[in-house]
Structures are given as C-alpha cells and as structure tokens.
Amino acid sequence: MKVLMIAFAYPSIYDPSLGVFFKEHARAVRIFNDVAVICCYSSPVKSQLGFNIVKKFRYIEKNEEGIRTIRLEYPRISNKVDATISFFFSLFAVFRIRRRFKFDLIHAQNFFPSGLIGYFFSKLYGIRFVITEHSSSFNHTMRHFIRRKLITLAAHKASQIIAVSMYLSNSINKYYPKLSINIIANPVDTEKFSYIPMEDSNRTKKHILHISSLNQNKGVDYLIFAAKELKHKRDDFIINIIGGEHLYLMKKCQDLVSSLNLNSTIKILGRKSHDDIPDYLKTCDFFVLPSLRESFGVVLIEAMACGKPLVITDSGGPTEIVDEKIGIIVPAGNVGELVGAINFMLNNFQKFDPEYIARYARNKYGYREIGAAITKVYESALKISINASFR
C-alpha cells in the first residue's frame, strides 16, 4: 500500500530527538508498504514579521532511508501561532504530494491536529485514514472544549484507531466508550539498540541511567530526592541524567542537585543525539524511569533492547512492558518505595538475564513485528466501511 503519514513532531537538524518515535513508526511500516511522511516545524530563528513566514518557508522533499520525507520549515513566531501555521502548511503539502504519490491511505500520528488533516482529505479524496494516539496528556487535552470537539470529529470518522498501550486505550474509551481501538506498541530499532556483552569494568561505582524530557511528568525530582536518601545508606553509585526539553528544565534539575549536595552523585548531562543514546544505555547497569504519567515509554524498550533491567513506576503504559524478569515496578510519586527499588537493583541487577531482556524486546517490539501489526490495521481500514454509528 501507499501510505501517507502525517506527524507534527519529527527529528530535524534543529532537534534530532524530537518525535523520534514517529520516525520509528515510519521505518517499521516501510518494511511492508510504500511510505511518505509529511512533517512541519519551525526553525529556531524567531521572526516577528508575518511576511517572513511565507518568504522563508522551505519545502524540502527527499528520500531518507527509503522513506519519501517532506519537511516543511518556517521561522518561529510563538507556540500557538506555530501550531496554526503548521496545520495549513501541512494541508498545502498533502495537495502537492498527491500529484506524484497517489496514497491509498493516510496515517495520522495523534488525533490532533494530524487527525483533522486525515479527516479533511478522506472527505476530499474518498480515501480512508487511520489514527495512532501516543500522548500521555490525552486526558488534559480533552479539557479544552474546542480541541475536544475537533478530536471527537477525527475519532468518529477514522476508519481505524490505534493506541500505543492499553492504558492509553482506556483513557480514550472514557470519552468514547463505543470506539474500537487496536493496541499496538511503539517499535524499537533493534540493530541500533542491541545487547553486547561488556567486559568486566574496573569502575568502582555502579551506573544508573535516566533519560527523559525532564518535565514534571517524568518524576525526575523524585529520583533526585531518592538519591539523597540512598546516599545515607551507601555511596557506590552514580546517576547519569540525560535530556531536557528546554534549557530551564536542565537548570532546574541541576539547581536541585546542587542544593542537595549531590554533584558528585548525580550528573546532569543535558541533551544528547538519539544516535548517542545506545552508548549510554549499553554502559549503564540499569535504567530508572520514575514517571507520574506515561502512555508508553519508548526509552524503556530501548533500554531493554540493550539488555538492561528497569526500575519503573506504576504510571500507566510502562506497567504493560515490565514483568519480574525485566525489572521492578513501584508506586508513582513515592520516594521511599523508589529508594527501596533502586537499593535492591544496585544489589541484584546482575541477576537479571540481559540476553532474555534483549530477546524479549526484539521479539515483541522489533520493526517487523510492529510494522506487520500496523499493516493489518491498514488492510482492515481499506476493507471495512466507516462505522455509521459515528457519523
């Protein structure tokens, strides 16, 4: 099938880590289909002049790893204005690509705003569209009246809906109980993220790794406070923290670490290229993600593909990934429980079988497995009519 994928976040030269999981979806689907991706984003250069948006707009189309990729780039104004601009530029791009790429189906990444574009062109061209929802903030998004109405329109007109976890599917069904939802996890690149047996290290301290955007939802504060308590018991560990959606989030974490006198224990390493992440995962002893709310947690399956055991919180989607052979689950937002889990893992991480963990990730979340599952959804979308009850 010829599939047009629409994503409003995608890796770029300005932010190589942004929307990586959308690109992973495209690469998985490409195994079985001919895929084109439209992604729209603003450049870091800010402009107050409206005419610069059109004057400096760039339409870049090229083949990236076998995927026809259309990048729409324009000067940044503000978050709210950028969202509107991205929407209309994406509409233009779909019209343009349609002349050369007669897609059979549109795959929108998230209900809003990609789902609206899918709906518009499904009506215009008489084709089907599928939506995959990823957002852990779905419940928060639905509090906005206008956005909720637009999401409702897209959800009820889509031929098929995919959620990346049962947790997220249940969140969607709270608003749309009659909506049938396919559960298909995010994929992981098991060539890039793989288990390689490491020689015994001479380092004296055990290395714990955390990677996230560092926003409040990721629970990084709890990890830092847990490290403070754990230091009263032992001093044989270092925690490396990678990420930071914005510079102020990195500074906030660093300020907290400094205020607790943990600079020798916790290292805030900042943002890293996604290509560099495997090296950090392969050399850590285990991975910790203390999120308060999480729809899935792609970084978890990346860590697993590298054979690393996990400490996670009962925050939604991650509990569907981890069992007793892979790691430990503790209540979200509980420093004491997190201290106990990290302490246990420091003593026992070597008892977890890295080959089993890596094999489990490869067999369940590999490109071929996820790509095949999504292709079956495409086939169903092209065979069935849109459910009349949603019209």
pLDDT tens string 311-355: 999 999 999 999 999 999 999 999 999 999 999 999 999 999 999
Cα gap 40→131, rounded to integer Å:
18
Residue 158 tokens read as 């889509």
Model confidence over 50-60: pLDDT tens digits?
A: 556 777 788 99
Fold that domain 2-187+367-390 belongs to in CATH: Rossmann fold (3.40.50)
Q: Which residues have a Cβ under 8 Å from the Cβ of 275 and sit 6 or more positions away?
A: 16, 192
Pairing of strands 327-330, 310-313: parallel
DSSP, collapsed to helix, strand or coil, labels residue 285 as coil
Identify the CA nearest to 163 among candidates 191, 204, 135, 201.
135
Identify the CA nearest to 234 among candidates 313, 314, 340.
340
What one-letter code names the amino acid at 167? Y
Identify the CA nearest to 381 among candidates 25, 105, 116, 3.
105
Cβ neighbours, 10 Å, residue 16: 14
Residue 232, burial from CB neighbour count under 10 angstroms (0-12, 13-18, 19+): exposed
Q: Give the class (CATH, top level) of 206-363.
A: alpha beta
pTM score = 0.92
Identify the CA nearest to 288 among candidates 167, 199, 207, 361.
207
Percentage helix, strand, coil for the chain under 3-state DSSP, each rounded to 5: 45, 20, 35
Model confidence over 1-53: pLDDT tens digits?
A: 999 999 988 998 888 888 999 999 999 999 999 999 999 888 877 665 555 67
Whether the pLDDT of residue 385 is over 50: the answer is: no
Q: Cα dist. 35→117, 124, 278, 354, 355 in Å?
A: 17, 20, 26, 34, 33
Whether the bond into 113 is cis, omega within 30 of 0 = yes
Domain 206-363 in the same topology as domain 2-187+367-390: yes
Q: Evaluate the CA torsion angle 66, 154, 181, 298 in order and state its sign.
A: positive
Domain borders along the chain are 2-187+367-390, 206-363
